């Protein structure tokens, strides 16, 4: 009888121990909800800039002051007329001038014309040339201001030469701005015209300065 009681006590202890050691059931978890979607806000500074639009070389040239659309060949022909004989005129001016500043001015023209003539030969090879009324306009400007037409010598020549040069360079500048640059399409031709425009504008300023100081 005592043995049976001991067994019962042991059984109760084992059952109690098991009850205490058994882990509590974890609360049922609700199904995992999907993570909230994030919305990325792109500021204006983060928006990639659009690539620059390439200039269209095939676009139609801008209308000129005369309403003509000159071809590159027309322009090169006019430039050829503008440069023809300029070296000889500069040399003549140096021979006939009595002013040191006028002589130096003529020397600068001579050096510029040699450079421009060399570059113009390259344009004739790459672009070509044609006969056009634009060439006649340049020829008219040259004819009215030719150094050979100046009959004076010494100080009289210096004043007449500078006045003639200013008239011609102004006429050339107008043709460059109103006729040639708006029509030119080949990049190398446009670069040449822009350089010629810079040289021409500078010549006008220098000639005016020298003329204002002549006796």
Distance CA 97, CA 207 (A): 14
Place of tokens 């994030």: 38
What integer pLDDT is reported at residue 116 of this predicted model?
A: 87
What integer pLDDT is reported at residue 24 of this predicted model?
A: 46
Distance CA 102, CA 162 (A): 8
Distance CA 3, CA 22 (A): 29
Q: Give pLDDT tens digits for 120-177.
A: 888 877 777 677 788 888 888 887 777 766 777 778 889 999 999 999 999 999 999 9
Q: How many Cβ atoms from other residues are within 10 Å of residue 211's Cβ?
A: 18
Q: Cα dist. 5→1, 9, 14 in Å?
A: 6, 6, 14
If one compares 18 and 118, the residue with the highest pLDDT of the two is 118
What integer pLDDT is reported at residue 126 of this predicted model?
A: 75
User: How many distinct helices (H) and strands (E) make up the chain?
Assistant: 8, 0
Distance CA 41, CA 58 (A): 41
Distance CA 198, CA 115 (A): 14
CATH of 74-213, one of 3.40.109.10, 3.30.1360.150, 1.10.260.40, 1.20.1260.10: 1.20.1260.10
Share of the chain above pLDDT 90, in %: 35
Mean pLDDT of 203-212: 96
Mean pLDDT of 196-200: 95
DSSP assignments along 142-178, one per residue: HHHT-GGG----THHHHHHHHHHHHHHHHHHHHHIII
Phi and psi at residue 33, in whole multiples of 5°?
-80, 150
Distance CA 3, CA 98 (A): 152
Report if pTM > 0.85. no
178 Cβ contact partners less than 8 Å away, ≥ 6 residues apart: 64, 65, 66
Label residue 5 by pLDDT band (50, 70, 90): very low
Distance CA 101, CA 206 (A): 10
Distance CA 80, CA 114 (A): 12
Q: With a cut of 80, say whether residue 50 has pLDDT above it.
A: no
Q: Give pLDDT tens digits for 70-84.
A: 999 999 999 988 888
Closest to 62 in 3D by CA, of 173, 183, 176, 180: 183
Q: Do 132 and 78 contact (CB within 8 A), yes or no?
A: yes
Q: Give pLDDT tens digits for 112-127.
A: 988 888 888 888 777 7
Q: Do 134 and 77 contact (CB within 8 A), yes or no?
A: yes
């Amino acid at each position: 009888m005592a043995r049976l009681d001991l067994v019962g006590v042991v059984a109760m202890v084992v059952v109690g121990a098991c009850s205490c050691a058994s882990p509590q059931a974890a609360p049922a978890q609700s199904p995992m909800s999907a993570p909230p979607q994030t919305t990325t806000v792109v500021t204006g500074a983060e928006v990639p800039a659009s690539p620059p639009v390439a200039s269209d070389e095939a676009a139609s040239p801008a209308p000129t002051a005369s309403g003509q659309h000159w071809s590159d060949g027309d322009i090169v022909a006019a430039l050829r007329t503008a440069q023809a004989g300029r070296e000889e005129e500069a040399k003549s001016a140096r021979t006939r001038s009595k002013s040191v500043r006028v002589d130096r001015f003529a020397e600068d023209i001579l050096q510029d014309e040699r450079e421009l003539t060399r570059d113009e030969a390259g344009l004739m090879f790459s672009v070509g040339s044609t006969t056009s009324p634009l060439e006649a306009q340049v020829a008219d400007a040259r004819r009215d201001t030719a150094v050979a037409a100046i009959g004076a010598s010494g100080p009289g020549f210096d004043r007449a030469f500078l006045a003639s040069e200013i008239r011609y360079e102004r006429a050339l500048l107008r043709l460059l701005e109103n006729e040639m640059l708006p029509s030119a399409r080949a990049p190398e031709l446009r670069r040449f015209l822009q350089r010629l425009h810079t040289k021409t504008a500078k010549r006008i300023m220098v000639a005016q300065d020298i003329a204002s100081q002549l006796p």
